[in-house]
């Protein structure tokens, strides 16, 4: 599309084409025949990791030269690749697995190509986000891909807070060493929502864990390994928020009937009502403080 006229862009006839090409998540059979043909016919393949992609190319006896293109050299390498495209060379852009640019490098290169009228062509194929969503059993008519959450717990919490009221299924990528903390914080901020945790899709140890966030947390294991995609139901399917009075009465009832402390009752109520535990505890404390103030000010 030509940004000035809003009409389809015909590109630069003398330039090469950048092929944004999806590669398998794990199973080699998922590389399309068209994908193999393009990888074998282009003059250069830009790889996130040349050693990793080299194994894929060797499996199909593809001997096309490769060049490293990753998050640490993306800005400089994008210019290099743009110059080669201007010279009429066809280039394929691939990531370590799945569709490039989806939480992977490539945005700068594609944007430069669009600005310079260089043809860009997608070679569709696997995507971990869509693959996990398709088998999650959660609503697929509206979803939001949020990629990897920030590493710091405070930033992660703020990101989840910004997502919690969205009426769309949420899709996250999670590194194995952050799986436990992500699941715990997601339950705390979003509530105990229904979830699908996909592990090592299309590989030998492919696994899917289905259930509430609290259940998934217990199944994840102490030392998780592999690649994880987390699909969480959106706010639309959550139970409606209860009023302060209803919530206070519910928690107080739990404390009396089950002989629980406020902390224990708040945790139980949060699970039952699909609310963040800290929010339940805070609202009960605030309600209790309001009640104390009324008792002190109301006439006898």
Which tokens go with 156? 């992660």
In a domain, 94, yes or no: yes
In a domain, 138, yes or no: yes
268-300 pLDDT per residue, tens: 787 767 677 888 888 888 876 655 544 444 443
pTM for the model stands at 0.75
Q: Which of 111-125, 192-206, 252-266 has the lowest mean pLDDT?
A: 252-266
CA distance 4 to 6: 6
Mean pLDDT of 227-253: 73
Q: In this prediction, what percent of the chain has a pLDDT beyond 90?
A: 65
In this predicted structure, what is the pLDDT of residue 43?
Answer: 98
pLDDT exceeds cutoff 70 at 251: yes
* Greater pLDDT, 128 or 255: 128
pLDDT exceeds cutoff 90 at 145: yes
pLDDT exceeds cutoff 70 at 153: yes
Q: Which residue is listed with tokens 């229904």?
A: 194
In this predicted structure, what is the pLDDT of residue 295?
Answer: 44
Alpha helix stretches (DSSP H) within 65-197: 74-86, 107-115, 128-135, 153-163, 179-190
Averaged confidence pLDDT in the chain = 87
In a domain, 107, yes or no: yes
Domain residue limits at 85: 18-126
98-111 pLDDT per residue, tens: 999 999 989 999 99
CA distance 115 to 3: 9
CA distance 8 to 43: 27
Residue 123's CB: how many other CB atoms inside 10 A? 22
In a domain, 298, yes or no: no
CA distance 140 to 135: 10
Contact call for residues 184 and 217 (beta carbons, < 8 A) = yes
Q: 83, 100, 126 — which closes off a domain?
A: 126
In this predicted structure, what is the pLDDT of residue 65?
Answer: 98
* Greater pLDDT, 52 or 255: 52
Helix (H, G, I), strand (E, B) or coil at 56: helix
Same structural domain, 133 and 226: yes
C-alpha neighbours within 13 Å on the C-beta side of residue 125: 28
Contact call for residues 28 and 97 (beta carbons, < 8 A) = no
pLDDT band with cut points at 50, 70 and 90 for residue 1: low
CA distance 30 to 32: 6
Sheet of 91-94: strand order equals: 66-68, 44-47, 91-94, 18-21, 120-123
Please give the tally of structural domains in the chain: 3
pLDDT band with cut points at 50, 70 and 90 for residue 8: low
Which value, in Å, is the radius of gyration of the alpha carbons in the chain? 25
In this predicted structure, what is the pLDDT of residue 127?
Answer: 97
Same structural domain, 65 and 102: yes
Contact call for residues 94 and 46 (beta carbons, < 8 A) = yes
Same structural domain, 147 and 210: yes
Contact call for residues 209 and 196 (beta carbons, < 8 A) = yes
């Amino acid at each position: 599309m030509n940004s000035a006229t809003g009409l389809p862009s015909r590109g630069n006839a003398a330039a090469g084409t950048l092929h944004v090409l999806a590669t398998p998540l794990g199973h080699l059979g998922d590389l399309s025949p068209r994908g193999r043909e393009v990888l074998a016919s282009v003059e250069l393949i830009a790889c996130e990791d040349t050693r990793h992609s080299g194994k894929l190319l060797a499996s199909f006896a593809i001997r096309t030269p490769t060049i490293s293109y990753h998050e640490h050299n993306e800005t400089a390498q994008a210019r290099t690749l743009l110059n080669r495209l201007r010279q009429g060379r066809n280039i394929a852009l691939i990531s370590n697995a799945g569709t490039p640019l989806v939480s992977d490098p490539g945005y700068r290169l594609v944007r430069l190509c669009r600005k310079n009228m260089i043809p860009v062509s997608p070679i569709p194929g696997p995507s971990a986000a869509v693959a996990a969503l398709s088998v999650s059993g959660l609503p697929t008519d509206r979803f939001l891909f949020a990629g990897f959450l920030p590493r710091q717990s405070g930033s992660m919490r703020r990101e989840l807070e910004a997502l919690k009221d969205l009426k769309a299924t949420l899709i996250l990528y999670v590194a194995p060493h952050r799986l436990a903390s992500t699941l715990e914080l997601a339950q705390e901020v979003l509530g105990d929502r229904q979830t699908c945790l996909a592990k090592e899709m299309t590989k030998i140890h492919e696994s899917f864990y289905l259930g509430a966030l609290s259940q998934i947390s217990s199944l994840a294991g102490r030392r998780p390994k592999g690649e994880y995609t987390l699909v969480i139901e959106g706010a639309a399917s959550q139970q409606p928020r209860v009023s302060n009075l209803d919530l206070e009465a519910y928690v107080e009832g739990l404390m009396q009937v089950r002989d629980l402390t406020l902390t224990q009752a708040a945790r139980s109520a949060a699970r039952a009502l699909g609310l963040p535990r800290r929010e339940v505890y805070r609202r009960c404390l605030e309600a209790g403080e309001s009640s104390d103030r009324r008792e002190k000010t109301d006439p006898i």
